[in-house]
Amino acid sequence: MSDKLRIGLAQMNPLVGDVAGNTALILGAIERARAAGAKLLLLPELAVCGYPPEDLLFHAGLPVLVEESLQEIRTASQDLAVVVGYPEYAHDRIFNSAAVFRDAGLIGNYRKHCLPNYSVFDEERYFSAGDEALVLDIDGWRVGLTICEDIWEVDPAAKARAAGAEMIAAINGSPFRRAKQELREQILVERVIETGLPMVYQNLVGGQDELVFDGGCCVVGADRDTHFRAPAFAEGLYCVDFARGSDGRAIPEAGELAPILSREESVYTALVTGVRDYVTKNGFPGVVLGLSGGIDSALTLAIAVDALGAERVHAVMMPYRWTSDMSRADAAEQAQRLGVKYSILPIEPIVSATTGVLAEQFAGLPVDTTEENIQARSRGMLLMAISNKTGCMVLATGNKSEMAVGYATLYGDMAGGFAPIKDCHKTLVYRLARYRNRAGEVIPERVINRPPSAELAPDQKDSDSLPPYDVLDEILEALMLDNLSVDEIVAKGIREETVVDVVERVRHNEYKRRQAPPGVRISGRAFGRDWRYPITSGYRHVKRK
């Protein structure tokens, strides 16, 4: 029996479906863990195929690739116990499992007990649940194994303790949202209180479509203190050490304690990570976006440059007669500060030609938002043309507040392959812009301070059509995160007419959101995977009498 145990925690960034590439990452982690003197290596949930694999699990070719990968990992497991997540195909079912290899042998296999089926998770669609505990003997240390959701419930950890575990290790595929690390460590403390055992938490990093994974590997001791925390969003192998106390209990030794990021820093880093991995993993050479001189496109440009580098970003100003001199100047200044390729493509000829062709169809009808939308769609057409010609992906620049109430033009400013700030309310956009400027003012201060405007009509302001953004965002948070009724939102002190108007706009514009590009999820409920409202519906959010 060894008096110390070193555990390696791999914060790796897999690519869903790239079994060969993921296996190479795993083998590299095994080599680094062995060189660091680790005796146990924890790799992420479903590390072999990437997380979440979704309907790829049903493809007949995936089990073959998974089996080949497991054989490679098994062979590499010399002088080291390796815990690796993989989809297990057995008895005409699929399990979310973890295989444990050591010295080229299989020494254990654990099947995830608790299958999340809420929010962005739908594991019951794919997996069957396990129910047996697994306790590993690693040089005399008894380590109970769990997978992700298992530690959010009581029974799996309790079963591991009853089976003789003296510590609990959890491998995870836990996506980021605001304040997620604090919540994770709170849950770990709850399991510690119930079992009396220290908890070892491992997680992956990187972007996968809308989801971003932030790592957050950590260790919580039986004393309920966090003894180790890896840097958020950072790939790497991190080692933690356990020693025997005078009473023989497993005690984690003090290690690195990376700070928990602030709300703005964590969200901004998640957005950068999401853009970087979506663009890179999908093989785009770069991105193109419309730079209007407003706050949303300004923040999106900063995120894109931080994610990809200025050389892979193309900003395009597309002025019309209503575009102010301030917007033109501010857009040019930001592009210059960030060093990106910058083009100016006036849309007056396109709008004039379009309205000319439609003149007979519009005869006798008043000017309205149709003419405004022609401007937005002219811009969308130019950006998509550049995308087609260069292969660069269009980044849409709309925020969550606009997406919620339909204050965005379908096939216009909603056009694009990815929408970085799609899950950021307008009030958060302002906070993120100020956060980004702390490291150097890349967004002109005037862009942040000026009243927001789509500039699709003379002297237009967002406030002409929408409630103040602090009020709008409060309503949206209450509706989306808390599922409150109109009555309950009004009880917060907001005018009933305003609440009813916003709620009805959200309902009416579902058809637009279904056609919007994906974007980074940073909240507890984002449009897309989290939000599944019917387009065709007779339900109305009315105030009870």
**405-445 pLDDT per residue, tens:** 999 899 988 999 999 999 999 999 999 999 999 988 999 99
Q: Please state whether beta strands 199-202 and 135-138 pair in parallel, antiparallel, or not at all (unpaired).
A: unpaired
pTM: 0.94
Q: Which two tokens stand for residue 200?
A: 């070892």
Known catalytic membership, residue 424: no
- pLDDT tens-place string over residues 529-541: 889 889 998 887 6
**Catalytic residue of the set 39, 49, 88, 112:** 112
Contacts of 543 (CB under 8 A, 6+ apart): 486, 487, 490, 496, 500
Q: Domain locations in the chain?
A: 4-261, 265-463
Q: Which two tokens stand for residue 85?
A: 């997540």
Known catalytic membership, residue 112: yes
Residue 232 has pLDDT above 90, yes or no: yes
Known catalytic membership, residue 132: no
- pLDDT tens-place string over residues 21-30: 999 999 999 9
- The per-residue pLDDT for 459 is 78
What's the rounded Cα separation, in Å, for the pair 432 and 429?
A: 5
What's the rounded Cα separation, in Å, for the pair 108 and 135?
A: 9
Per the prediction, the chain carries an average pLDDT of 94
Query: Sign (positive/negative) of CA torsion 150, 179, 208, 531?
Result: positive
Residue 460 has pLDDT above 90, yes or no: no
- The per-residue pLDDT for 466 is 86
Residue 322 has pLDDT above 90, yes or no: no
Q: What percent of the chain has pLDDT over 90?
A: 88
b/e sequence 125-137, b meaning 16+ C-beta within 10 Å: ebbbebeebbbbe
- pLDDT tens-place string over residues 106-131: 999 999 999 999 888 999 999 999 99
- pLDDT tens-place string over residues 39-97: 999 999 999 999 999 999 999 999 999 999 999 999 999 999 999 999 999 999 999 99
- CATH superfamily assigned to domain 265-463: HUPs (3.40.50.620)
Average pLDDT (190-201) is 97
- The per-residue pLDDT for 453 is 77
Least confident of 190-204, 241-255, 336-350: 241-255
Average pLDDT (477-493) is 92
**Catalytic residue of the set 49, 114, 148, 392:** 148
Average pLDDT (519-533) is 91
Any idea what DSSP says for residue 531? Answer: B
Average pLDDT (472-486) is 93
CA angle in degrees (0–180, nearest 5) for 429-431-437: 100
Query: Sign (positive/negative) of CA torsion 515, 284, 16, 268?
Result: negative
Query: Sign (positive/negative) of CA torsion 42, 48, 54, 60?
Result: negative
Higher-pLDDT residue of 15 and 458 is 15
Residue 19 has pLDDT above 80, yes or no: yes
**Catalytic residue of the set 45, 210, 402, 474:** 45
Class of domain 4-261: alpha beta
Residue 358 has pLDDT above 70, yes or no: yes
Residue 544 has pLDDT above 70, yes or no: no
- Per-residue pLDDT band at 275 (split at 50, 70, 90): very high
Residue 545 has pLDDT above 70, yes or no: no
Contacts of 46 (CB under 8 A, 6+ apart): 52, 53, 85, 86, 87, 96, 173
- The per-residue pLDDT for 312 is 98
- The per-residue pLDDT for 463 is 79
- The per-residue pLDDT for 10 is 97
Matching fold, domains 4-261 and 265-463: no
